[in-house]
Structure 1
Amino acid sequence: MNKKVSALSDQQLLSAYLSGDKDAISILIERHSKRVLDYIRMMVKNNEVADDIYQETFIKVVRFIDDGRYTDNGKFLSWVLRIAHNQVIDHFRQAKQQNNLSESDAGYDILNTKRFADTTVEDRMVSEQIENDLRKLVDNLPEEQKEVVMMRYFGDLSFKEIAEQTNVSINTALGRMRYALINLRKMIKENQLILT
């Protein structure tokens, strides 16, 4: 990469890419690749999985830009890290679902449980709406609190695992969760949401 190109800002590279310079997106990705990959590796603690999530993240980034869904506000790296974070959460969610479904391999008939037998279309719609409302509220939490909530409830990680992955003490992780729950309760009350 020559000095002239490396001196371009993220916004200038994005403009160049959108104007037809296909090399500009490669330069932009290369510029931020280490930071994004380090973040993903810190979260998942598995290099192979991290590499896959990294690839998916930048595929999504390019797709969003190509579709015109990226609004340039001077925070390109933050936007990419948010996509990476969501990809990590999706990974944990899928792993959790696979673990739950594998119980049927051990002679447990998952489709013959009361939980699934009594679920109606209305129940699923209400559950989806509650989950969407809650997800929007979680997105409004401070980043450290949001991270703990996502890892605990969507990633199904223990507080010990959360502490290890975020490089904080267990007490700090618990404190962040406590403040997150306080903030969520406050937002639920302010928005007069019913989550039942």
Structure 2
Amino acid sequence: MKEYTLSDAVLVNRYIQGDEAALATLIERHKQRIYSFIFSKVFDRDISEDIFQDTFIKVIKTLKRGKYNEEGKFLPWVMRIAHNLVIDHFRKGNRMPKFEDNGEFSIFSVISDSDLNAEKQLIKEQVEEELRNLIQELPTDQREVLIMRMYKDMSFKEISDKTGVSINTALGRMRYALINLRKVIDKNNIVLTN
């Protein structure tokens, strides 16, 4: 009971000193938030479970090696690990994650670039603005699918129903939208890294 009143930092230190129960308390305290975050990106319970487990395996390894130095910022640190594992999952499968409609459209979420570390990337307003303008230049059918998928988080089935085209056509339009964006980015020498 009293372990629940201890701060994350105290529990982390206790775990590092050999108190296994301290880690169990940390996991119990934050599991809902971390799992929900992972599930909101992958929409698959089994994959979410795997990524959740991998997240805490990484947490344990880092703590055991004495490499943890995020004093008082345990949850943001774990969320960053989970976020990176989600990105790794999509890179491996070469599939597109779903993104929340939070009004922020980030091209880094769409363009898979193995040299790009999304966690450390600070996106400049100017680049974002240029990219939003480039999206407007896409052919209407491609732009429409890209916006429905990325901004509105619609499934390809929903996009297919709304636009009156087959799911394969919707998928094709999304693919061409991304290809065209990449071409325009290359042509305009837009640099996506700092």
TM bin, normalised by shorter chain, reads: 0.5 to 0.7
Alignment of 1:92 with 2:80, yes or no, is: no
Alignment TM-score, normalising by the size of structure 2:
0.55
1:163 deviates by 2.9
SS at match of 1:70: coil
| Kept in 1: contact 2:38–2:48 (CA 8 A) | yes
User: After the TM superposition, which residues 147-158 of structure 1 pair with which residues of structure 2 at under 5 Å, given as runs?
Assistant: none
Q: Map of 1:66-81 to 2, 5 A cutoff?
A: 66-81=64-79
Show the counterpart of 1:33: 31
Alignment partners' CA distance in 2, 1:35 and 1:22: 21
Percent identical:
37
Distance in 1 (CA, whole Å) between partners of 2:119 and 2:14 is 35
Write the deviation string for residues 137-189 of structure 1: whole angstroms up to 9, x where unpaired. Answer: 872326xx99xxxxxxxxxxx554333559xxxxxxxxxxxxxx9xxx5785x
Query: Per-residue displacement from partner, 1:31-84 (whole Å, max 9, x unpaired)?
Result: 100000000000001111111111111111111111112103211100100000
Judging changes above 3 Å, is the alpha-carbon distance between structure 1 residues 42 and 137 closer, same or farther for their aligned structure 2 residues?
Answer: closer
Structure 2 partner of 1:141: 122
SS where residue 151 of structure 2 aligns? helix
SS at match of 1:139: coil
Structure number with higher helix proportion: 1
2:15 is the alignment partner of 1:17: yes
Once residues 64 and 24 of structure 1 are traced to their aligned partners in structure 2, the CA distance between those partners, rounded to angstroms, is 15
Cα distance in 1 for residues equivalent to 2:122 and 2:83: 14
Q: Is the 8 A contact 1:43 1:165 kept in 2?
A: no
Partner secondary structure for residue 13 of structure 2: helix
**SS of structure 2 residue aligned to 1:60:** helix
Q: Could you say if the C-alpha distance between residues 52 and 21 of structure 1 is closer, same or farther in structure 2, counting changes exceeding 3 Å? A: same
Moved segments of 4+, more than 6 Å: none
Query: Match of 1:45, as an amino acid?
Result: F
Query: What letter matches 2:24 in structure 1?
Result: S
CA drift of 1:131 comes to 4.8
Gaps spanning 5+ residues in structure 2: where? 96-112, 129-145, 155-184
Partner AA of 1:63 in structure 2? K
Letter matched to residue 15 of structure 2 = Y
Q: Tell me how many residue pairs correspond in the alignment.
A: 126
Q: Is the 8 A contact 1:36 1:81 kept in 2?
A: yes
C-alpha distance 187-56 of structure 1, shift in aligned 2 (>3 A):
closer
Residue identity matched to 1:161: R
RMSD: 3.4
